[in-house]
A and B are shown apart, each in its own frame.
Chain A
Amino acid sequence: MSDSRYSYDENAEVWPYFAMTLLSLVLLPSTWKAAIRAVKPDKDYSPKFENGYKPENYEEVEKFRKKNRKSKIFTKTNIFIAIGWIILVVVAYFIHTQETPEDRKRFDPYEILGIPSSATEREIKSRYRKLSLKFHPDKIRNIVNTTREVMEAQFVEMTKAYKSLTDEVTRNNFNEYGHPDGPQPMKHGIALPKWLVEERGTPLVILGYSCLVGVALPFVVWNWWSGTKQYTKNRIHTVTAANIFEAFAKSNLDNFAFEDLIRLLANSQEYKILIPGISSDTVYDYLSAYLSREKVEDELRKLAVVSRSVAILDGMLDIASAFKNATLLRKIISLTQAFTQALPPESNELLQLPKVDKEHIIDSTSSTLKSTFCLSDEEQKEVLGITSDDDWKIARAVAFQIPTIEILDAFFKVPGETVVTPQSIAHLVIKFRVSNPGTTLPTPDPKDLEEVDNALTIKKPLSTNDIAPQVEAIYAPYLPVYIRPKWTVLLVNPRENRIVEPPSNVTRMYIDGSVTTYKIQLSAPMPDQIGQYRFLVEFRSNAYIGADAVRSVVLNIEPAPKVEEIEDDISDPEEDSIAGAMAQLRGGKTKRRPLDDMSEEDSEEEEESSSEEEDSDTDINTDTEDEEEK
């Protein structure tokens, strides 16, 4: 029957389509992505703090920020996308201008004669006669608008069509295979230009292909691989990370001073990449100048250096957390606060407010944000060293935006249990709220401080962490980059001054004064000794000085409560019924079956005994106790 044949794209008809499809496959999604990226506003930027206060280097800071924002549109990817679109347009134009060859038109005798395919031979003959009378070249001299040649060609077509339809074999062929000559060879086109496949193109193709596979591909992969290997998971340079680790490993962590930390920071590889040939001493000078809010000659360069420092400090915190030393972690977080607010570490928290008198505040060491804004208006001005009313209002507005954490309660909890039993897997529940200086919140509703289990929290205790909204942008007029505010939560064993859990970050909280719940899953099981263990829960901000909170939390390891037989069979559902299981999930009571009945059932139905709630008085799992006894 039909033999198939592969042919290459001799007339360059198909491959432009192929190229266009490929291009648009890549271009459309990437353009969509780029558009979203460009349109999406800077999330970290909040005009909320446009209060008219301008630091001394305001112009440079704005210049730096603008420079960074602009680069969002003219990125490398966007340029590539633009080039891709240009190529696409060129290809589309090429396709558009290309003529479709005439001979590709299918020969359809029925159409030419204008008769249905079901016509009989007689009908065909009469039709042809009619048409030939009308279209015969000898008779059409009087028709305008058409040239003689076209007419003649048309007539030849008609004759051809007539002949093919009157011939038995040809007509059958046409009806069956769509072609008067019978079955046609199948044609598979490969959308490659022909010159690529011809012999004289071979060396070129081979060269190109080997270049692609042997040179370009390894090079790209290598580049990508060494690029990813150059930066750690925290997006800091591996050399920086190694330096930090080495410094921590080889020194006494308790005695690490702020100055050592800044020196360590100044030694980061990022700065050397940012400004080639810069020495770590120069960086240190820049950083110190920034912290003391001094202008330097090369202000933009200083800002560029500073803009990286908070991210590096984040990485430093992560590395320090592996050493578990709480003092060091606190110091690094303090330094982060200092960098955000451009103040020397452990400065007075009032200095973060705009318009305040620096010298005046340094003299009066005793004031905190909270104590200051409880005073009367005149006293506030006195403490802040502000004389004008407008300045004082600006300072106060900023102070009232500073969220200060107040830890209301913190306790350990095992999902679905009321006590923490030895060796159980617990999590730490922290109830806190945000208060602002100058406002006094009412005592919280004790209901808000309870942790009530429901089906979801038993399964996924930490699911409540994502309910509250993200914290908004921060007030940091000196910091040239926008950072996301977060609170690092440390769980410290005060006796050894070591953290017992890796630090975790809180970014979601209600800022209207209502209670937020934050839970930390403890990685280690509870101690197996019954007794009391004391810990410190610390919330430390990365943005504001004096917004931290510390609270002591006591872990009470208690023995599993004894099982009591409750013969209260009036209304409680059977324990092993569905209603009973529901009641248990809600923390309600269920009726317990007689003990021997249970054990019998155990031996029969392994599945049921291993399900979590029903087996408190069997010998399989004695340390998870039910709710219903209490």
Chain B
Amino acid sequence: MGKVSLYAPIAYLVLLISSLALFSTIYRRRKVRRLIGLKPWFEEHDARDIYLSLKAQTSPKVPEKMLKAALLRRATEDVRRIMSLQESKPALAELHQRGAVGDEIWTRFLAAEKVMDAEVMECAGEANAIKPGWAQTLFPSAAEIVHNSRIRDHLTEVPELQKAEREKWEKEREKVVSELEKENDSSVIAETETKKTNKKKK
């Protein structure tokens, strides 16, 4: 049996640890890259951008009324987004739990929630800066606006729906009527035939 020099275990350890370290760095770097590459859940927040640019504008200064309106719009968009998140969260949680969707979308969703939390905080801060205590009433009124616009959307949809439904109904009615007529005809024919045969018998 040959002797094994002391360097052997050291070399082994060095090789093993370095290869594992290399693996872990590559893995982590890839993970970070993947996280950076994630698409945000929502598109650009236009209302917020408009508010910020209005606020930043100095010459001529934007009137306060306009700024307030822009902030209200921003809050409205925030509420809309939060509501949409809240609506789809149970579905996503269920799907994620039973493995029907991947981890990536779950990460994106949680990130979107965090972003919205921060956004709401910032929006409230802005409101309080314009007028102390406004944040308490800003979001309820924004929510009302959202509800209102939803109902409005529904209302505008109604005529179209009505048209489609009416068409469907008419088709169905025609179908049933034609079938009934057919049946009627055939039964009339059958009746006359039986009458004839009866007469013949007589």
Which residues on A are within 8 Å of B, measured CB to CB? Answer: 7-8, 197-200, 202-203, 206-207, 209-211, 213-215, 218-219, 222, 229-230, 232-234, 238-239, 241-242, 245-246, 248-250, 255, 315, 318-319, 322-324, 365-366
Q: Are B19 and A214 in contact (CB under 8 A)?
A: yes
Q: Are A232 and B101 in contact (CB under 8 A)?
A: yes
Contact of B15 among A210, A232, A250, A366 (CB under 8 A): A210
Q: Are A319 and B95 in contact (CB under 8 A)?
A: yes
> 7 extra interchain contacts, Cβ-Cβ under 8 A, other than A206-B11, A233-B98?
A202-B5, A209-B16, A218-B20, A242-B105, A318-B100, A319-B95, A365-B171
Q: Are A199 and B4 in contact (CB under 8 A)?
A: yes
Any chain A CB within 8 A of the CB of B1? yes
Assuming the contacts A206-B12, A206-B15, A241-B105, asked whether A250 and B2 have C-beta atoms less than 8 A apart, the reply is: no
Assuming the contacts A8-B1, A199-B3, A245-B95, asked whether A214 and B101 have C-beta atoms less than 8 A apart, the reply is: no
From 56 to 109 in chain B, residues with beta carbon under 8 angstroms from any chain A beta carbon are 84, 87-88, 90-92, 94-95, 98-105, 108
Any chain A CB within 8 A of the CB of B23? yes
Contact of A319 among B8, B15, B101 (CB under 8 A): B101
Which residues of B have CB within 8 Å of A219? 23
Chain B residue at minimum C-beta to C-beta distance from A365:
B175
Within the complex, the shortest CB–CB distance from A526 to chain B, in Å, comes to 22
Contact of A238 among B18, B27, B104 (CB under 8 A): B104
Q: Are A315 and B1 in contact (CB under 8 A)?
A: no
Scan B121-155; emit 1 where CB is below 8 A from any A CB, else 0.
00000000000000000000000000000000000
Q: How large is the interface on B (under 10, 10 to 19, 20 to 34, 35 or more residues)?
A: 35 or more
Which residues on B are within 8 Å of A, measured CB to CB? Answer: 1-5, 8, 11-12, 15-16, 18-20, 22-23, 27, 41, 84, 87-88, 90-92, 94-95, 98-105, 108, 157, 171, 175, 178-179
Q: Are B11 and A323 in contact (CB under 8 A)?
A: no
Cα of A585 to Cα of B140 in the assembled complex, Å? 59
Chain A residue at minimum C-beta to C-beta distance from B23:
A218
Chain A residue at minimum C-beta to C-beta distance from B176:
A366
Contact residues of A: prevailing secondary structure? helix
Within the complex, the shortest CB–CB distance from A621 to chain B, in Å, comes to 32
Within the complex, the shortest CB–CB distance from A516 to chain B, in Å, comes to 28
Contact of B105 among A209, A230, A245 (CB under 8 A): A245
Cα of A219 to Cα of B27 in the assembled complex, Å? 10
Q: Are B101 and A238 in contact (CB under 8 A)?
A: yes
Assuming the contacts A210-B19, A214-B19, A222-B27, asked whether A249 and B101 have C-beta atoms less than 8 A apart, the reply is: no
Which residues of A have CB within 8 Å of B87? 249
Which residues of A have CB within 8 Å of B1? 7-8, 197
Q: Are B8 and A206 in contact (CB under 8 A)?
A: yes
Cα of A229 to Cα of B104 in the assembled complex, Å? 10
Cα of A229 to Cα of B103 in the assembled complex, Å? 8
Contact of A197 among B2, B90, B104 (CB under 8 A): B2
Assuming the contacts A214-B19, A245-B95, asked whether A233 and B8 have C-beta atoms less than 8 A apart, the reply is: no
Cα of A213 to Cα of B20 in the assembled complex, Å? 8
Which residues of A have CB within 8 Å of B101? 232, 238, 241-242, 245, 319
Cα of A242 to Cα of B102 in the assembled complex, Å? 7
> Can you report 6 residue pairs joining A to B where beta carbons are below 8 Å apart?
A203-B8, A206-B8, A209-B12, A210-B19, A239-B104, A242-B101
Cα of A94 to Cα of B84 in the assembled complex, Å? 71
Contact of B94 among A202, A206, A215, A322 (CB under 8 A): A322
Assuming the contacts A218-B23, A366-B178, asked whether A232 and B99 have C-beta atoms less than 8 A apart, the reply is: yes
Q: Are B12 and A232 in contact (CB under 8 A)?
A: no
Which residues of B have CB within 8 Å of A322? 90-92, 94-95, 100
Q: Are A323 and B4 in contact (CB under 8 A)?
A: no
Which residues of B have CB within 8 Å of A207? 15
Q: Are B100 and A232 in contact (CB under 8 A)?
A: yes
Cα of A210 to Cα of B171 in the assembled complex, Å? 75
Cα of A7 to Cα of B2 in the assembled complex, Å? 11
Q: Are B100 and A319 in contact (CB under 8 A)?
A: yes
Chain A residue at minimum C-beta to C-beta distance from B24:
A218
Chain A residue at minimum C-beta to C-beta distance from B157:
A255
Cα of A222 to Cα of B175 in the assembled complex, Å? 61
Which residues of B have CB within 8 Å of A229? 102-103
Chain B residue at minimum C-beta to C-beta distance from A366:
B175
Which residues of B have CB within 8 Å of A218? 20, 23
Q: Are A249 and B20 in contact (CB under 8 A)?
A: no
Q: Are B12 and A242 in contact (CB under 8 A)?
A: no
Which residues of A have CB within 8 Å of B157? 255
Within the complex, the shortest CB–CB distance from A116 to chain B, in Å, comes to 42
Q: Are A214 and B8 in contact (CB under 8 A)?
A: no
Cα of A239 to Cα of B8 in the assembled complex, Å? 47
Can you list the 4 inter-chain pairs with the closest CB atoms, starting with the nearest? A214-B19, A238-B102, A249-B88, A233-B99
Which residues of A have CB within 8 Å of B105? 238, 241-242, 245-246
Cα of A219 to Cα of B95 in the assembled complex, Å? 29
Which residues of B have CB within 8 Å of A198? 2
Q: Are B91 and A249 in contact (CB under 8 A)?
A: yes
Which residues of A have CB within 8 Å of B15? 206-207, 210, 214
Contact of B92 among A200, A214, A245, A255 (CB under 8 A): A245
Q: Are A249 and B92 in contact (CB under 8 A)?
A: yes
Cα of A238 to Cα of B108 in the assembled complex, Å? 13
Within the complex, the shortest CB–CB distance from A243 to chain B, in Å, comes to 9
